[in-house]
């Protein structure tokens, strides 16, 4: 069995939060990508469907800003979601140069399925933590992120 950096790295690194966060993030990305790939989706699909459900119809540019996804990736992901029947694209009546993206009932159902997929990833990733510890970890990470996001 192959050893990992987490097992062989010097203690000075293994005890540094930035090193730990970086390595957990890498592992998390692999788990999320694999799970969404198995579900026939991409992480961007989940982000876009989530934003549309929470905030309602939006332009592709607004979705790009809200989700922190490059516009070109939003266009490609929206094309895939339109093809799958998860969203509808229609010209904005106020500005015909812009499209408005709307979540469909099939897209809302697909989002619920993705929620289950992601919940499975969370369970696998955070298996050694209790429910309270999971909540505490999320709260602490959110505080760090909010601090560095200027909130």
Instruction: Break the chain into its structural domains and give their ranges.
Output: 28-120
What pLDDT band is residue 16 in, cutting at 50, 70 and 90? very high
- pLDDT reading at 2 higher than 80: no
Model-level pTM? 0.85
Q: What is the CATH number of domain 28-120?
A: 1.10.10.10
| Summary mean pLDDT of the chain | 93
Tokens of 16: 């540094």
């Amino acid at each position: 069995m192959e050893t990992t950096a987490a097992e062989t790295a010097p203690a000075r690194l293994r005890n540094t939060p930035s090193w730990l966060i970086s390595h957990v993030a890498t592992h998390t990305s692999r788990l999320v990508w694999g799970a969404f790939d198995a579900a026939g989706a991409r992480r961007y699909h989940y982000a876009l469907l989530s934003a549309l459900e929470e905030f309602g119809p939006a332009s592709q540019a607004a979705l790009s800003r809200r989700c922190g996804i490059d516009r070109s990736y939003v266009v490609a992901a929206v094309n895939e979601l339109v093809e799958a029947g998860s969203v509808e694209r229609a010209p904005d009546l106020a500005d015909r140069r812009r499209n408005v993206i709307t979540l469909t009932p099939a897209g809302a159902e697909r989002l619920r399925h993705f929620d289950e997929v992601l919940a499975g990833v969370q369970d696998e990733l955070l298996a050694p933590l209790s429910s309270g510890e999971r909540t505490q970890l999320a709260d602490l990470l959110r505080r760090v992120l909010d601090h560095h996001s200027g909130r």
